[in-house]
Amino acid sequence: MNSTMIITSALIVCFFALMIGIGVRSRKHATDVNGFVLGSRSVGPWLSAFAFGTSYFSAVIFVGYAGQFGWNFGLASTWIGLGNAFIGSLLAWSVLGRRTRIMTQAIGSKTMPDFFGARYKSKGLKIAASIITFVFLIPYTASLFNGLSRLFSMAYNGIDYSVCVIVMSVLTGIYVLIGGYMATALNDFIQGLIMLGGIAAVILAVLKANGGLLAATHSLAMVEGAKGWDGAGAFSSFLGPDPLFLLFVVILTSLGTWGLPQMVGKFYAIKNEDSIKKGTVISTIFAIVVAGGCYFLGGFGRLFSDVIEVDAATGKPVGGFDSIIPTMLSTLSPVLIAVVIVLVLSASMSTLSSLVLTSGSTVTLDLIAPLRKKEMSEKSKMLTMRLLIVVFIVISATIAIFQVNSKSEITKYIAQMMGVSWGALAGAFLAPFLYGLYWKKTTKAAVVVSFIYGVGLEIIQLLLAFGVFSFPQGSFLADVVFKTSLHSGSFAMVGGLIIVPIVSLITKKTLPQGTDKMFKCYNDTKTVGITDSLGE
């Protein structure tokens, strides 16, 4: 057993022990549905902000996106992290935070599908939203495991990746099942601290290995190979070699958080007005460090071309983009490699716990409960949610293991499904949720159209990937809208924001009743007696 394996094992054992301990301690908060799903709406700013951030940034970002976009855009990929911070965190908290917390409590909503059902007075919308959530969260959850395989093979040479997936799944399931949302939030805080410290340490180590920031940037400026770029300098330029594609990436990865059930759910649970203000600042700083740091680190990937095997014909890494970050990190000390392993575990487990809690609660409260003739008791709901959480974890872990170990053509479909999950969820939900919070005249018909448009666009993307049909080369649809799932996902979200108000104005007859009463919750005033003044 080498030093890297020993240090990594010691840190992982301590990490898992702490996670389980927090889960056991949090069990008192998970005695009813409100406590299990929302932490009794009493979560403070630090826990809420870190829960939001750690659910946002997973191993997919650190290993996959940072490697891919850092290789394609160079240092300009840092704009993606800054977009995540200022659009995906700061603006999301400012625009959605307060109104989501107030409105959801006023209408008694515990999940995003529940919000659609109560806000638009439609059981059908509630069920449809829960089905969309179920279908697209499963592949998204499975994708979390992908970034772990190469890192663990680097630290534990010879140990099957399946073992890592199973251990991580079991331990995440334990603390979520025992402690519910509060255990998830507390663990997210610890995991967030690990991510902050780990990212900073790795960036400093990588820069030091390349002679410091100025020397590393100068070396990157000497790299040639950007398509359509005359000479060197593309990968150290302000906007990189492909600014338009960079914009699509920023939109999808930043604006997408506004419509994801597991992200918006963090606003449901926050404690009070003051917590929202503080949480906005904390969440933004966290995102700047973690997201900005990840993409900034990935931007230096091409400096490691001496150890990263590159296909001369395509200019891409032979082992795929997921191999870039692990190869960069393999040159670090055993202690830093161990820190990175725990960092990626933290990022993955925090997002996994949020996703399975969202999935289990949504299917139980918004799909099973409404379809049952007899009303479910509190105890029955709690049992069903816990069982479904186990089911979601097992399915996603099985998919992840199958995809890594199998050479079957099915793995291509799984990968494509993962790619469109974010776009389908955000494309369907973002616009009706946002307008539902701010505009009384949003209609049920507009929500239906948004669901169909967002999901429909991503289904077309899947069919194109599978070769069912194709658009003519050189057309706007082929070269822009459906060029990649990042493009179609961006069009799904932005298009929804345009479609919902237009359809709402055309379909006024489907306007739900009682919206004026709902919106009064934003202007409630409370009168209290004065106990510390004698008056004039």
Asked if 296 and 203 touch (Cβ cutoff 8 Å), the reply is: yes
12-522: CATH homologous superfamily?
Answer: Sodium/glucose cotransporter (1.20.1730.10)
Q: Which of 279-288, 358-367, 395-404 has the lowest mean pLDDT?
A: 395-404
| pLDDT at residue 414, as a whole number | 58
pLDDT average, residue stretch 149-176: 75
pLDDT band at 450 (very low <50, low <70, confident <90, very high): very high
Average pLDDT of the residues of the chain: 84
Model pLDDT for residues 295-305, shown as the tens digit of each residue? 999 888 888 87
Structure tokens at 107: 């209408």
User: With 90 as the cut, is the pLDDT of residue 64 above it?
Assistant: no
User: With 70 as the cut, is the pLDDT of residue 330 above it?
Assistant: yes
- Which pTM value belongs to this model? 0.86
Asked if 347 and 225 touch (Cβ cutoff 8 Å), the reply is: no
Find the largest Cα–Cα distance for the chain.
86
Report DSSP letters for 362-426, one per residue: HIIIIIIHHH-SSPPPHHHHHHHHHHHHHHHHHHHHHHHHHHHH--STHHHHHHHHHHHHHHHHH
The Cβ-side half-sphere exposure at 423, using a 13 Å CA radius, reads 32
Model pLDDT for residues 10-56, shown as the tens digit of each residue? 888 888 888 888 888 888 777 788 888 877 777 888 988 888 888 88
| pLDDT at residue 27, as a whole number | 82
Asked if 429 and 261 touch (Cβ cutoff 8 Å), the reply is: yes
